[in-house]
Structure 1
């Protein structure tokens, strides 16, 4: 902006200021004769003295001139504030025209007044407050102006509101609208001394403060944790807040200076009443906030859902059991539960947990949070929750064959006399029962040894359960073999026919040998014996020879399961005829 523009801008601003400036009414400086006859003159006015011989000042009046103090006489000025005199030496009797004795001067009193009145303002209101030069009043205000003057006396008080023309003050000024008023006022006396203009900014405040509340820390709805604090805020855009009050339940109200801290309050129900007053006494409506201080964490109750069994003072549960965590909370309610099994990583609990991957002694650690973050923990070393021993395995199953048997691959060969004994053991919750089924038929509870008589292949299914219903099973293939070996005989020489005792007989030569053998369809031949002509039995080792005449041969064979078979031969040995 160049210099010409600056000058033009400044000129506009100056002119605008002159137009907006409020002008004072013209007040004449003058003389004044009071009702009590005293003469007052504005001390700044020039004084001219006139003298006449008639009571009527309008006739034959001559202005006095001074010969000795001509320089200071026309006009003259009073030098003293207040009482001044114009004197002539010696009083002369108006009738005798003689000097009155004792002598004393003739005195004319004149009071010179240069001092303006002093105006005081008084505001009639319930309460007021001064801040930064402004006067804040409550509700409405009555402004009373009063002025005093030491000499000539107050002539008038003039006032102006918000830049309006000056008006003579005759009665208290009523300010009732909520707003900021600019009041200007001054007084002048009877000789025209003008008081300097007083300016008062008066703010009428009819609005109470606004109070708001904030909760810091953990809370849920109207439940507050022990770490929560209630903080109040006030807003008053006019006269400002003086005090904020609060009261808990029926206690005496207190002035709010710091947050209301829940750590200082016992657990329980509370009603907080609060309100604020501004600096001119406007009070907000009382507000209430009802809340509960909750310092108690949830209680955690671990529970095993499923069958349990007590043995020798020790409790067992199965792998099909569920771990259920239940919580009880006094007020806010449980928000989350986390758990750890046997020191594993904590997981959020949402539903009962299967224990099929956890065996042995079960240690559950858990913690629960309510909605205001009160936390309770059950953990080893504090409230350690030692739950039942988790038995994940069923009994160990075994069997034994009492009597003849032979293991061939995955099949056990038995005979009808073989007795089958079942047994099982469980080192944890203990054995409950053993069941068995033959050839897919209904299961039978095992109580004693049994046999399988029917020839052929059989499937034996064994099932055992422990006291927490863990089940083990096992299948065994059995073959019941009740047949003895098949016996074969073969003579080493051919036979021939010859008549003996009136019949034709088959005869073998004396040098022949009889070969005897046997085979077994399922196992093998264990042993063979023979009895020749009712002689005692002898072991059979291969072949027989040395026969004579008529022979009765009884052959016995046994397989490896003790199954027996026999064969009887009748034959002749001799020379041909």
Structure 2
């Protein structure tokens, strides 16, 4: 048996992380494929070898002196009586047509014989008697030749055979009779070649390997061919960004790659993280749950189906494991414990922030709304009383916030304010008269969120915040407005009150029943029997009372049902000087005091 080797030399990088072991495993797994290939033959049009190859010997004597002749050729028998003497044709007289020429009838040994052997010395029968048999081996069968493809890796897909690095093609030959003289091969229908050959090829391509063999008596095999693809080109891998166009990955984001592989096809893509002790995983897997949020280096490479591996690529990625944080705010709101008070007109807003990937959406549920995507501020104007809002946010890489809950109380009621007077006041026809000492006190109440503030203003002026009881300073008419606002900006309708600030006491009026009869030391003198009449006038709140006191005696109310009016009694005696102190008050307790000094004479 003769073996010819045809070797495709190329190189393969040394892949880390156990790739060589994988190549060895793939080689064992592909042995059945090689066996199948060895029987996969294809007839081609170029089945006639070149003429120069066909011109060969048809008789062959091997090292054991066996004579082989092509069984399909004629044989002419001749003999001579001397080694170099004249030759004579040997024919059959009974059937000359069978020996002119002679054709051997049996594949393998044929015999030209005489009955008994003669001893060359004695010229007598040689003993023991033996028949003379002169062997002539007929050979009509072509050799058997099979190519054997040896490669570090083999792959079959859609009836196409792919070979990887270090491809060797060996011929296994056998011939039953004369033996194989030579084997010939041609690559892609180019020149026929024989002998040992090292074929150095730098191209990955599809090839057709044609071959035939000839034995020592010029029996040819039919030309056969095998097509295959020699693939030494590694894949090219690119890490795909997420659909948002970044290298930010979430816990459940599959790691995906774009791989260009032109020949045998992609077997696997592998990646690992450089900043952490991390086993190789295959494309499509997600990051291990044990990793922490943060930035990592991602190293990756791909291997094709004949174990060509590329140089590793690397990208910096960010593993985002932190969910967004959502906050709830509301206009016109007030927090008390875990409850948030809002008004029917309050706008409730949800805002989320995310540490890396960015917020994708916020969803919420409340009365009449179930798991809706938040898009703009909303209100609960249809509802009064207690409600609840649940909400959560998710980021672009699907980290989802734990759902939050907020108790909401919709306060649609307005507060109420009352005014009260501290000090003197008097009401006439819905107008309140007060004096300058009277204080105005505002008190308010709210059933739900509570009063935020109370304010008041003189009609026509700006409101100011109320903090404590106050007094008026402007004498005369004062119009006061007042109202309260609760903690969710429900504002009470403004109330008003008409006030009149009365700063002046009544004007005292007095008259004597007689004219004075003289004057002593500046004191008027009146005749005995003179009476004194008292009175008071008030053009604002009105006179309330008049009292008098004679010579520091006990004060007496003038015109009281329980007293005798000074004008009705003979109180003034002759020869005396009298001093009458008159005190009058109006309805808001403004006081006027006046003293009268006079003398009575007969």
Q: TM-score range by the shorter chain?
A: 0.5 to 0.7
Q: Does 1:253 align with 2:280?
A: yes
Mapping of 1:26-41 within 5 angstroms? 26=51, 27-28=54-55, 30-34=58-62, 36-41=64-69
What per-residue deviation string (whole Å, max 9, x for no partner) do you get for residues 87-111 of structure 1?
1122223344333233222332211
What per-residue deviation string (whole Å, max 9, x for no partner) do you get for residues 112-146 of structure 1?
11222233434565444455665533346454446
More strand by share: 1
Q: 1:102 to 1:78 in 2, by over 3 A?
A: same
Mapping of 1:326-337 within 5 angstroms? 327=352, 329=354, 331-337=356-362
Shift of residue 448, structure 1, vs aligned partner: 6.3
2:196 paired residue number: 171
Q: 1:536 to 1:377 in 2, by over 3 A?
A: farther
Q: Would the aligned equivalents of 2:293 and 2:322 in 1 still touch at CA under 8 Å? A: no
Shift of residue 215, structure 1, vs aligned partner: 7.5
Distance in structure 2 (CA, Å) of the matches to 1:131 and 1:260 = 26
What per-residue deviation string (whole Å, max 9, x for no partner) do you get for residues 3-35 of structure 1?
xxxxxxxxxxxxxxxx98564234257223345
Match of 1:399 among 420, 440, 453: 420
What per-residue deviation string (whole Å, max 9, x for no partner) do you get for residues 216-250 of structure 1?
8x877333344433345655332233444444653
Q: Would the aligned equivalents of 2:146 and 2:171 in 1 still touch at CA under 8 Å? A: yes
- Structure 2: 5+ residue runs without aligned partners? 1-43, 510-516, 518-535, 546-557, 571-583, 593-602
2:208 paired residue number: 182
Normalising to structure 2: TM-score of the pair?
A: 0.61
Higher Rg of the two aligned structures: 1
Q: 1:294 to 1:440 in 2, by over 3 A?
A: closer
Match of 1:55 among 78, 83, 87: 83
Distance in structure 2 (CA, Å) of the matches to 1:422 and 1:275 = 84
Match of 1:478 among 499, 512, 524: 499
Distance in structure 2 (CA, Å) of the matches to 1:129 and 1:385 = 63
Q: Would the aligned equivalents of 1:144 and 1:171 in 2 still touch at CA under 8 Å? A: no
Normalising to structure 1: TM-score of the pair?
A: 0.64
Q: How many residues align?
A: 485
Distance in structure 2 (CA, Å) of the matches to 1:25 and 1:197 = 12
Q: CA RMSD in A?
A: 5.6
2:98 aligns to what SS in structure 1? helix
> Whose RCO is larger (CA < 8 A, sep 6+)?
2
2:441 paired residue number: 422
What per-residue deviation string (whole Å, max 9, x for no partner) do you get for residues 373-397 of structure 1?
433365xxxx433479979856613
Mapping of 1:338-417 within 5 angstroms? 348=374, 365-376=390-401, 383-386=404-407, 396-400=417-421, 403=424, 405-408=426-429, 412=431, 414=433, 416=435
1:275 paired residue number: 301
2:138 paired residue number: 112
Q: Does 1:103 align with 2:124?
A: no
- Structure 1: 5+ residue runs without aligned partners? 1-18, 488-500, 502-517, 538-556, 566-577
Q: Would the aligned equivalents of 1:403 and 1:417 in 2 still touch at CA under 8 Å? A: no
Larger CA deviation: 158-167 vs 239-248: 239-248
1:229 aligns to what SS in structure 2? coil
Q: 1:202 to 1:446 in 2, by over 3 A?
A: closer
Q: Would the aligned equivalents of 1:297 and 1:375 in 2 still touch at CA under 8 Å? A: yes
Distance in structure 2 (CA, Å) of the matches to 1:48 and 1:24 = 28
Q: Does 1:93 align with 2:119?
A: yes
Shift of residue 354, structure 1, vs aligned partner: 11
Q: 1:134 to 1:188 in 2, by over 3 A?
A: farther
Match of 1:300 among 326, 337, 347: 326
Q: 1:121 to 1:405 in 2, by over 3 A?
A: same
Distance in structure 2 (CA, Å) of the matches to 1:139 and 1:347 = 56
Q: Would the aligned equivalents of 1:340 and 1:347 in 2 still touch at CA under 8 Å? A: no
Shift of residue 315, structure 1, vs aligned partner: 8.8
Distance in structure 2 (CA, Å) of the matches to 1:416 and 1:387 = 48
